[in-house]
Structure 1
Amino acid sequence: MAVSKPKASKATPKAAKTSTRKAASAPAVAAVAEAVEAKPEVLPATEQAPVAPANTLPAVVKKSSKKSKAVVAEPAAPTPAVDAKLETNLAKQPPRALNSPIRIFQIYFEPWQRELLDPAFYPLDNSRGSSELMEFAVFEQLQKNAATQGAVLWGALSWRFGEKTGMLGADWVKQIVEHPGHDVYFCNPHVNNEAVFHNMWMQGEVSHPNFVQIVKAFFAAAGLDDKEINAIHPSNSFSAANYFVATPKFWERFIPFVRKTLVTADKNLNPQVRDLLHSKVADDKGLHAGATYVPFIVERLFAYFMRTEGKDLKAFKIALPERERELNVHLKLLREMKDVAHRTQSAWLAACWVNYRNLYLSQTNSKAWCEKYLRAITPTEVRFV
C-alpha cells in the first residue's frame, strides 16, 4: 500500500491503559479451535522472542485492571438488511454537501450528539439504523444515494471524531486539500497500538474475547491469506474506527470486496463458529452497544484490502498531533524500532522489539493481564507483510 505520512509534532509522556476481561464460553472456544488448524512454527534459537520479565524500565508505572462479569454468547441472527430510512431521508433532503467536491458526513444517533458535531461536516441522523455492519452499512447506502453522486471524495465519520482524533474537521479537510491525488485519506486515533502490537488483528485479541482464533476461522472460510494475522505491519498501515474519506473509485472496489468476503465467510464457516461470529460476546466490555465480531473484522479489512485488491490505489495517512503528544518515550521508541525492523526486514531487530515491547507491557499492566494476553499476542515466528 503506497502511503504518505506527514511528520508528527513532539510528544509528551502518558502511560497507556488496558483492561482485562473474561473470555467467551468454553464450548464456543472449543468450536473455534476445531475449525482452525494450528500450525505452530518456531523461530531458530537466534530469533526466539520470549516473554520478558518485569524489572527495569524507568519512569513507567504499573496499572492494575478491573474485573468484570463474563458475557454469555447469544444465538446469532441473520445479518439485518441495511436500514431503508436513511436512504429515504437523504433522497428527500439532500444535505448541503451535494454541491461540494469533498462531502464528509458525520453520523449521530441521539439528539444531544448533534450539538457535538463538527461544523465542517454534514450531520447524518442514523438513529433508526439497526444493521450489524454499523458504519459499513451507512457507506453502502451513501454510495447509492444522490448525496454522494458527483463528489470527488466522500466519507462518513463518527460523531466522536473530534474526541478520538483531537482534530477539527476544518484541519482534516485542509490536510486532504494540501495532499491531493490520493484515492483514500485515513487515520488511526489509537496511535499507541502502532507501537505495541504486530498488527490490528493482534490488537483485537485484547479487546474482544478469542478474537484471533475467530479471525483465523473467518479468513479460512473467506479464502483470505491468513499469513498476515501473525505478521508485523508498519505503523503507516494501522487504521481504526473506519475513519477514511475516499474517491468513488475506492468505494466502488472496497465495498464489493467487503460484501463478498462476508458472504463467502458466512457460507463456509462452521455453524458454531458462525453463531459466535454474529454474537454479542465480542462486546464483553459493553463499549460498543452490543456489537458482534463482524464490524470489528470489517474495519480491519481496510488495510488487508489496500495490500491486496487495492494495492494500486494511493493512500495518505493523516497524522494526529494531539494523539502523537500522548505517546511517552517508550512508545515512540517502540514504534520506530518496529518500523525499522519492517523496513529492513530484520528478524533480529523484530525479536528485539518483541522483548522490549513485552517488558514495557509487563510494567504497564497487571500480572493477570500479562498472563492472559502476552503469549496470545506474541507469534512464535517473525514474519513481515
Structure 2
Amino acid sequence: MHPPSSTPTGQRRIEIRQIFYSEATRQQLDPGFIPLDNCNQRPDWREYWPIRGFLQQHTLDENTLYGFFSPKFGQKTTLTSAAVREFLATVPRDIDVVGFSPFFDQGAVHLNTFEQAATNHGNSWPVFEQAVAFVAPGLDPHNVVMDSRHSIFCNYFVATAAFWRRWLAVNEVLFSVAEAGTSALAQLLNAPLPYANGFVPAKVFVQERVVSLLLLGERHWRTRHFDPLRLPMSGSIVSPYPADLLVLDALKTAAIETGHDNYLKLFQQVRNTLLDTARRANGMQAGLS
C-alpha cells in the first residue's frame, strides 16, 4: 500500500486529501488519502471551507497534483486511493486537471451542469443566472454547452497548483459576496435549496460548478478523465441507457467543436426520445429522478 503522504507519478507528486467532519466520517476515510479535518468549522460551505483553508494557508508546489475529496468518494465512485493513483500514473505530465466524476447520466442528458442542478434542485435558476453573470459575464447558463470534458460533480478532480489558484480566485469572488450578505446575489447564494432529505445553501451548488465553468470558458486547461462509464450512474431514469447517453454526449461535443446548431437540434431530439422511453418504462409523466 502506498503511504497516505504525497507520492510521485512520473515527475509529479500526488497529494489527495479526504475531508471528514465527524468521527463517523473519519472512520469512512480511505487510508491511502490524507485526512483533512473539517470538524466544527463552517458546515454552510461544506467542502469549500477546508479546501479554501488549505489553499490559503499553504504554498502549493508546481510539480504536485492536489485533490480534495469528500468522505463519500469511495461510495460515489467505487474507486479506492490505489485505483486513483494507478490512473494518475498514466496521465501525461502536461495535463492540468484530472476528473474522477461519477454520474455520467446527469452530465450527458443535461445541456450543462447548471441545467443539471436546476433540474434536480427546485427554484435554483436565479442563483445560477446571477452568479454566472457576476463571474463570467456574457456566458448564458441556459444555453452554454458542456460535454463530459467539462462536467465534474462533487469536486472530484485532481489538479495542478495553477488550476487550484485560479479555481480559488473565482470562488473567492462568490465567497466574498455571500459573506457580505448585502446584495441580491448574496441572498440567493445563502438561500436554502432542497437536497436529499433536507436543505443546503445554494452557494454550495454554485461553488461545485466553478470547475466546469473554468474548463469550458478557459480552453487552455488540459484535461484527462477517468472513464465515466466505469463509474456509477446516479440512478436516474435514464441511467439504464448508456448507448443513448453516449450519443447525447457526442452530439454536445460536435456542437462545441463545430459551432453548428444542427448538432444541438439533434441533441434535443435524441434527449426527448430517451426521456419519453425512460418515463414510459417507469410509468412516469415527468422528472429525471
TM-score category (smaller protein): 0.7 to 0.9
1:365 positional shift: 5.6
1:269 positional shift: 8.4
SS of the equivalent of 1:164 reads helix
- Alignment of structure 1 residues 226-375 onto 2, 5 Å: 226-263=139-176, 271=184, 274-280=186-192, 282-283=193-194, 285-287=196-198, 290-308=199-217, 310-320=218-228, 321-323=230-232, 331-345=241-255, 346-363=263-280, 367=284, 370=286
Is 1:163 matched with 2:75?
Answer: yes
Kindly indicate whether the alpha-carbon contact (under 8 Å) linking 2:132 and 2:140 is maintained by their aligned counterparts in 1. Answer: no
Deviations 1:261-317 (A, max 9, x none): 44468889853x53243022x135435xx4200010111111111222x42121111
250-259 vs 329-338, which moves further: 329-338
- Alignment of structure 1 residues 70-109 onto 2, 5 Å: 97=5, 101-109=13-21
Kindly indicate whether the alpha-carbon contact (under 8 Å) linking 2:180 and 2:186 is maintained by their aligned counterparts in 1. Answer: no
**Under a length normalisation based on structure 1, what TM-score does the superposition of the two structures give?**
0.62
- Structure 1: state its 5+ residue gaps: 1-94, 375-385
Counterparts of 2:71 and 2:61, CA distance in 1: 23
1:218 positional shift: 2.5
Kindly indicate whether the alpha-carbon contact (under 8 Å) linking 2:16 and 2:34 is maintained by their aligned counterparts in 1. Answer: yes
1:202 positional shift: 1.1
Kindly indicate whether the alpha-carbon contact (under 8 Å) linking 1:217 and 1:269 is maintained by their aligned counterparts in 2. Answer: no
Counterparts of 2:7 and 2:276, CA distance in 1: 53
Structure whose CA Rg is larger: 1
Kindly indicate whether the alpha-carbon contact (under 8 Å) linking 2:178 and 2:187 is maintained by their aligned counterparts in 1. Answer: no
124-133 vs 183-192, which moves further: 124-133
1:146 positional shift: 4.6
Kindly indicate whether the alpha-carbon contact (under 8 Å) linking 1:184 and 1:316 is maintained by their aligned counterparts in 2. Answer: yes
Partner of 1:47 in structure 2? none
Kindly indicate whether the alpha-carbon contact (under 8 Å) linking 1:222 and 1:265 is maintained by their aligned counterparts in 2. Answer: no
- Structure 2: state its 5+ residue gaps: 256-262
Deviations 1:243-278 (A, max 9, x none): 11111111122211221244468889853x532430
Kindly indicate whether the alpha-carbon contact (under 8 Å) linking 1:154 and 1:245 is maintained by their aligned counterparts in 2. Answer: yes
Partner of 1:183 in structure 2? 96
- Going from structure 1 to structure 2, the CA distance change for 1:364 and 1:207 (only over 3 Å counts) comes to farther
Kindly indicate whether the alpha-carbon contact (under 8 Å) linking 2:44 and 2:200 is maintained by their aligned counterparts in 1. Answer: yes
Kindly indicate whether the alpha-carbon contact (under 8 Å) linking 2:65 and 2:158 is maintained by their aligned counterparts in 1. Answer: yes
Counterparts of 2:136 and 2:235, CA distance in 1: 39
* Paired positions, count: 272
Partner of 1:57 in structure 2? none
Aligned-pair identity (%): 21
SS of the equivalent of 1:203 reads helix
Counterparts of 1:196 and 1:300, CA distance in 2: 17
Is 1:140 matched with 2:52?
Answer: yes
Structure number with higher strand proportion: 2
- Going from structure 1 to structure 2, the CA distance change for 1:342 and 1:329 (only over 3 Å counts) comes to same
SS of the equivalent of 1:352 reads helix
Relative contact order, higher structure (CA 8 A, sep 6+): 1
SS of the equivalent of 2:120 reads coil
